[in-house]
Amino acid sequence: MPEGPPDRPGVTGSARPDLDLVAEAGASERTRDLVPVPRRRSSVETHPEPRRSDVDPWGRSEHLRQLTRRLYDPLYKHWFRVEWEHFDRLPTTGGALLVANHAGAIPPDAPAIMHGIETQLGRRVYGLAENLFRAVPVVGTLWARGGGVAAHPDNAYRLLHDEGQLVLVFPEGTKATGKKFTERYQLHRFGRGGFVEIAMRAGVPVIPIAVVGAEEAMPVVFKSNRLAKLIGVPYAPITANMMLMGPLGLVGYFPAKFRLRVLPPVLFDVAPGQERYSRSRVMDESEKIRVSVQEALYDMLRTRRSVWFG
């Protein structure tokens, strides 16, 4: 006696096998008659989400910083040939206030410090500077996109305390970048010590950095007070670069060898978050930091064999 059709998978038996066969045959006929219909695209697919801006609340663009790093890297490695000493003193986490000496008509030290830390340590660096930059068309926007922030105590506190960022400041201010070549590596007073008070209030260390090489990269020969008043800037320097290279000297640096030394972090044994701190204590700490950077500069200059080769 011939065997009936095998049971369908998952079914132990069938009382009406003929109905099962008819159903399967009908399904096969319908399958042959089907014509593929293109799937309709959803509204999300037809209208992709617009690209979000990478500009943070401070105006910094990481996309622009990446581009800047790629363009600046050959200058950093092959023109200035930057070398760091005690780079491991820089913190890998948490906020810290970086304090350095400043020089050059168009200071080359800030880009070197920011580039080295961002590429080697992988941390963002925000640079505090005078509001003058923000008033200059195009330059002000590019400065902000590159990590520049207006030098105000509230801005510094938020970056250091609330966001735990690295913040770079030059306490000498415009007095440093306006120095003549004959005054090179002679530090001016570090302002009124405001950077110390901010570090105390935010509860972060101050990390001094001594920079050698920037003074010779774009030395100031003399300053024109008349031109400064005409264009509305604190000073109008005439540099050796301009005298030797003409208009190219406005942006062309001499290939001075850069050496950067990170000094031990300075911690303050005071309670953070206070509205006011002792003015005498603030000024004393500020002067100690200035002296430590000055002594480091003298030591580095004593061991330097050449301006161009280090």
Beta bridge partners of 84: 260
pLDDT at 9 over 50: no
Average pLDDT score, the chain: 84
Beta bridge partners of 223: 237
Residues 209, 211: Cα–Cα separation, whole Å: 6
Q: What pLDDT does residue 143 have?
A: 84
Q: How confident is the model at residue 139 (pLDDT cuts 50, 70, 90)?
A: confident
Q: What pLDDT does residue 231 have?
A: 67
Residues 280, 290: Cα–Cα separation, whole Å: 15
The predicted-structure confidence for 178-222, as pLDDT tens digits, reads as follows 788 999 999 999 989 999 999 999 999 999 999 999 999 999 998
pLDDT at 116 over 70: yes
Q: How confident is the model at residue 50 (pLDDT cuts 50, 70, 90)?
A: low
Q: Give the lowest-confidence range in 36-50, 235-249, 266-280.
A: 36-50
Q: How confident is the model at residue 131 (pLDDT cuts 50, 70, 90)?
A: low
Residues 190, 181: Cα–Cα separation, whole Å: 20
Is the pTM above the cut of 0.95? no
Closest among 92, 146, 94, 148 to 122, alpha carbons compared = 92
The predicted-structure confidence for 51-62, as pLDDT tens digits, reads as follows 467 899 999 999
Q: What pLDDT does residue 218 have?
A: 92
Compute the Cα dihedral for 198, 204, 210, 215 and give only its sign: negative
pLDDT at 147 over 60: yes
pLDDT at 10 over 50: no
Answer with the residue of higher pLDDT: 222 or 229. Answer: 222
pLDDT at 263 over 70: yes
Q: What pLDDT does residue 35 have?
A: 45
Closest among 65, 67, 68 to 55, alpha carbons compared = 65
